[in-house]
Amino acid sequence: MKKRRNIEAFSLSFLDCICCGFGAIVLLLVLSKIYDPNNLNVQAESIELSQSLQEQLEEIQNESSFVDQNYREAKLNTVNLLQELEVLNKELNNVRGEYAISLSKPIELDDNEKDLEEAKQKLSDEIKKMQPDFRRASNEAIGGIPVDSEYIIFVIDTSGSMQSKWDWAERKLSEVLDVYPTVKGLQIMNDNGRFMFQQYGKTWLPDTPQLRQSIKNTMRQWAPFSDSDPSDGISYAIQSFWAPDKKISIYVFGDEFQGNSMQAVLNDIDRINIEDENGDRLVRIHAVGFPYSFGGSRIPQSSQRFAGLMRLLCERNGGTFVALTNNDR
């Protein structure tokens, strides 16, 4: 009798079939996940993010190139400026050396010195000739000066040389004020444009007996710095106070001119105090010249220059120049 074969519950074939079945299930799950709509959205977002980052990277690269180019240009400009600075330093050193050499050399007189001395002598003679024509008349405070102005500005040299004759200047100031019994406005400044009453600068002072007395009292102690060049004060007065509805006269008190060029002063005043269609200036300019010293016959050059400048300035600007002498004191 044949023996029965033993049947095994888990044979190799059975296990093989089971594995294939599990593999098929896993494959189905994987394929189903690939085409899941959620996964597709994530992929799309990843692509968009990648593109955005790529664009930002390109922008950063472009900006970096631009900054790098600017840096190279700035570096090149710096090099050029340093080279120019070096050239200027060399030129400055040369100028300093020439200046030092010039100081060590004796001053050589110009060939035209003789002509200059003759011109100075002619100017001195001219001043002496014109002084009688501008002397104060016995019955007038300031001879020949028109008194048609409604507003008066004094431009007074307050330098040391004027302080030595300050009492005389005070009297002349009082005399000019007496010529105008009543005006609409007054103002007083020195030749550098510094006002006597700083708190009321650039405004007209109302004409009252109290104000006139205050001006005379303050004048006794008034001594601000002055460089003996009235051009600044005159220009400042015109530019600060002129108005088309006002008749203004400026009175310049001084004894010397220490500026560089008389012609430059005349040109500057002509440019500021322009003429109208009738040839009249914006303001009248009068001047009173005080002698520089009380002794000796020699007139200092600075005093001669002041007299010559004021004579021309008054002639051009509708005014009168009065040259005082020690006899008027």
Using one digit for the tens of pLDDT, what is the confidence trace for 84-121?
887 777 677 666 655 554 544 444 444 555 555 665 56
Among the residue ranges 10-14, 34-38, 194-198, 299-303, the one predicted with the least confidence is 34-38
Helix (H, G, I), strand (E, B) or coil at 259: coil
The pLDDT of residue 23 is above 90:
no
Give start and end residues of each alpha helix (H) in the chain: 12-34, 37-104, 113-130, 160-163, 166-179, 209-219, 231-241, 262-272, 301-316
The pLDDT of residue 294 is above 90:
no
Q: How much of the chain exceeds pLDDT 90, in percent?
A: 39
Task: Provide the pLDDT for residue 125.
Answer: 58
User: How long a stretch of residues is the chain?
Assistant: 329
Closest listed residue to residue 251, CA positions, set 215, 212, 286: 286
Query: Is residue 141 a contact partner of residue 171, using CB atoms and an 8 Å limit?
Result: no
Task: Provide the pLDDT for residue 150.
Answer: 93
Count of other CB atoms within 10 angstroms of residue 211: 14
Whole-model pTM: value is 0.57
Task: Provide the pLDDT for residue 250.
Answer: 96
Packing angle between helix 113-130 and helix 301-316, nearest 10 degrees? Answer: 60
Per-domain residue ranges for the chain?
Answer: 14-108, 118-328
CATH 3.40.50.410 fits 118-328, yes or no: yes
187 backbone dihedrals φ, ψ, rounded to 5°: -160, 145
139 CA to centre of own chain:
47
CA distance 205 to 186: 5
